Amino acid sequence: MAGLPRDDLDDLARAKRTLEHPSLAIRFAASMGLPIEALVKRLPDGVQRGIAEGTRRALTASLQVAIRTLDSDRRGPASNWLHRGVVMATGAAGGAAGLAGLAIELPVSTTLMLRSIADLARAEGEDLSSVATRLECLTVFAYGSPSPADDAADSAYFAMRTALARAVVQAAQHLSERGVAEAVSERAAPALVQLVGRIAQRFSVSVADKVAAQLVPVIGAVGGAAVNALFMNHFQDVAKAHFTVRRLERWHGSESVRVTYERIQDERR
């Protein structure tokens, strides 16, 4: 598979394994012995609606963080453990409060995860002074959630990137034309609503897995922290993979990386 140096090819192979099979439910099942998919199916319709609304609100709050504060001049390696520790604390509180705590805990944990994602993006050479790059951090929540339609796609990851690209461009253009302060006050702006809506549709799948795990009676506060740790770790892995692909595209060209990505076998080591 000529074209990419061996180290970069290995990086791309690792990224593909993460991006094409981003199952949080499998992580919960492996780490905690919880049959998450079965538990999600048992969630009442009211809970499902609450998850959808809570997800949208959490992403809307994170969108404001993304466009206002993610361009801080922080340097150095990504602080994965720092962010994970805080998210575990919010998970403990949320686990103790049950479903009622979701409305408070989810926006906090999502924003903390977004900051960790931004750290990982910066570590891979991304320029967070760019509004489009900050919005790209938000899209990681879409890549980290599987969809039943993904199985039919040659590359679920690149299919989702294509679907999100137009929404990111339009949102970034709206922000540049209006300015951050005015754009944030216009939460109903079509460009921003479309971006949040596309991401929420996917992110809610992972949120449902998380809620189902936290509602298990024996989980409680300690288990809630463990659930949030897995939740954070999952999206950190996806962010690392996504921004690795983007780094390689900057180095070797988008077409070369995509062709190589499609040829890599999932079982490659």
pTM attached to this predicted model: 0.84
**Chain Cα centroid distance, residue 218:** 27
| SS (HEC) of 75-101 | CCCCCHHHHHHHHHHHHHHHHHHHHHH
Most confident of 65-69, 80-84, 216-220: 65-69
Structure tokens, 83:
């962010």
Percent of the chain with pLDDT over 70: 75
- What's the one-letter identity of residue 165? A
Domain boundaries, the chain: 6-263
Q: What is the pLDDT of residues 94-137, one digit of tens each?
A: 444 456 667 788 888 898 889 889 999 999 999 999 999 999 99
Q: What is the pLDDT of residues 160-176, one digit of tens each?
A: 999 999 999 999 998 88
Structure tokens, 73:
């001049």
- CA dist., res. 121 & res. 129, Å (int): 12
